[in-house]
Structure 1
């Protein structure tokens, strides 16, 4: 597609360009600096939107993968031989704190039961 020189624009072309500029402005005002830097090379609002959609899908997928790993850590948590209660408390708390930040919650009862299962019978 060959672009017209601005002097050759019709009223319809001017309206479309204005809408595109307004759309880009609205998008840019809602983004933080990091996200803006990822889309600033796009030339139209449509390109901006497509790029943002792709970025958000990647972020959602990454968050889902992190959640799965954290849940596996929680489910497979066991006290290792020679490990102190302080060490267990530190790594288990890091898992318990990480999981809600990724979108899943455990009730206090589930966490307490898991702690009881982690500890050796002795």
Structure 2
């Protein structure tokens, strides 16, 4: 198994805790460090490595939230709890983008600034939106007075795609 997968298992499932079993296998107690085998040591080290990866990937604000956590799993749960609202915020921003309209008497520059702000916030939340989708959305919210320009842009795009398709066909012949 790849090490990354093993570390992720530790983050999700918790660390390996070396244990002693009695002869019948019924009573178990945690091993002391002196009783660790080489395999136990390697398994325990993976929790430290997972913790290190998580800690190195966060900022000061989040570090204060997780500084008392003893396992990678505890750190992960604390981070999930701290960022639980992120999904709700992202969905809200997606809704804002879907409902985005240019306001009456709004300058194109101001509308573009509002649009860019929403896109940047979505990007910071990990939402990737293709340039094509963004351009289509922006062109779709322009007022009727912009129809001739919008049509010209779509026609130019259509001609460009035909030109590319024509080149592909001629290259395949």
Compute the TM-score of the two structures, normalised by the length of structure 1: 0.64
* Correspondence for 1:120 among 143, 156, 173: 143
Shift of 1:29: 7.8
Cα RMSD of the aligned pairs, angstroms, is 3.0
Point out where structure 1 has 5 or more consecutive residues left out of the alignment.
1-11
Could you tell me whether the CA contact under 8 Å between 2:93 and 2:118 is conserved in 1?
yes
Larger Rg: 2
CA deviation map 1:9-48 (0-9, x unaligned): xxx43448xx7x9788653685254333223345xx3xx4
CA deviation map 1:42-66 (0-9, x unaligned): 5xx3xx4453122222255322112
Match of 1:78 in 2: 101
Q: How many pairs were matched up?
A: 105
Compute the TM-score of the two structures, normalised by the length of structure 2: 0.48
Q: 1:28 to 1:37 in 2, by over 3 A?
A: farther
Point out where structure 2 has 5 or more consecutive residues left out of the alignment.
1-30, 36-40, 146-173
Structure 2 counterpart SS, 1:89: helix
Could you tell me whether the CA contact under 8 Å between 2:90 and 2:122 is conserved in 1?
yes
Q: 1:28 to 1:81 in 2, by over 3 A?
A: same
Higher relative contact order (CA 8 A, sep 6+): 1
Match of 1:97 in 2: 120
